[in-house]
Structures are given as C-alpha cells and as structure tokens.
Amino acid sequence: MKILGLTGGMGMGKSTVATLLQRAGLPIFDADAEVRSLQADHGAALPAIAQLVPHAVQNGHLDRAILRQAVIKEPALLKKLEHIIHPMVRAARTRFLRMQRLQGAHCVVLDIPLLYETGAQRECDDVLVVSAPHWVQARRVAKRRGMPSAEARKLIARQMPDAQRVRQAGKIIHTGGSMWETERQVRQIIRSLRA
C-alpha cells in the first residue's frame, strides 16, 4: 500500500486538493478532523486538557476562547497541549492505516498540516505539498478569517515557510491559478499513483 503525505500551509488550497483526491476514490486520513473530534463535546482529549486548563473545560465542553487566552498568557502550554493531542492523532492514524491495509487499499493519503513538524513524513512513501504564491495565500486567509491582510500575514509567518515544505516535497501542486489547472495537476498525481 502506498502512503502519500499531503501538506501545505493555511490558505494554500490543501483542503481542495484533499477533496479532489477523495472524489477520485483515495482513502484520506484528515488530521484536522481528528483533532476536532478529540476536542468536540465529551471528546477523548478533554479530560487531559481539563487537567492543564481546568476552567477551559466545563460539562464536557471545551471553550476554545478560554484555552486560547491561557496559551497567550502561558506560551509553554502549547507544547503541553501538543503532547496530549499529537499522540492521540498518531494512534488514530495507525488505526486508519491498519484498516486500509486490511481492506486492500492500493494507496492512501495522510492529510496532515503539520506533516514535517511532527515527523509524520517518515511514514510516507511520498509527500505532496500544496503551494501558492504568498500574496494569494495571504488574500485567501484574510478572506476566510475576515481579517486584514496584515493580520493574515502574521498568522502565516508563524508556520513553516512554504519554500521549506516545497524543498522537501516529492510532488507539488500549485494552486495559484484556476480551479481547472489545480484539477489537472491532481489528475496527473492520481495517474502517477496508480501507475
């Protein structure tokens, strides 16, 4: 079974590419969806988060605003939260891969925004990075989050630089053009995976 890692910074179009890959029949593990599930009401991560920031979890519900404020006040909390979430996501990913192997999948996709940051690329046979020009990325993030471009650029600056991801990638999809062009590149990737 081939394992393709899929990653890219915010506003690069990674979700669009993941959707196109899924429509083509490739099983996708969505790390962001797993995190949302772990942090949903009565989610598996909430008891451990409550031990770190008790006032952020009430009646099985995570108040993200309170958690965000706690992290702003105490930045070291972010690493502690990652030590809770990342192993849980890794365990879910392991279960997904085991299930796909049992079902005889030819190729699967691990959609992981922090692929390189968490070392998950070591589990992959190849990595696909979704990239776009910086100005396109900033415009998309600003529009999606309803914020000024300057704020969007600050958010983007906190992430691994796009050039660093691209240097490490085996495959790249450029999403700065039309949707048709993105779809054409995805079709090429799918053909190469099925070859």
119 is in an annotated binding site: no
11 is in an annotated binding site: yes
pLDDT for 149 beyond 90:
no
Domain boundaries, the chain: 1-27+106-195, 31-104
13 is in an annotated binding site: yes
12 is in an annotated binding site: yes
CATH H superfamily, domain 1-27+106-195 = P-loop containing nucleotide triphosphate hydrolases (3.40.50.300)
16 is in an annotated binding site: yes
pLDDT digits (tens, 9 = 90+) for 6-60: 999 999 999 999 999 999 999 999 999 999 999 999 999 999 999 999 999 999 9
C-alpha to C-alpha distance for 55 and 53, rounded to whole angstroms: 6
Would the pTM of this model clear 0.85, i.e. be above it? yes
Spacing of C-alpha 105 from chain mean position: 22
15 is in an annotated binding site: yes
In the DSSP assignment, the letter for residue 123 is G
pLDDT digits (tens, 9 = 90+) for 44-57: 999 999 999 999 99
Q: List Cα–Cα distances, 155 to 27, 93, 96, 142, 161, in angstroms.
A: 30, 27, 31, 10, 12
Question: Sorting pLDDT into bands at 50, 70 and 90, what band is 129?
Answer: very high
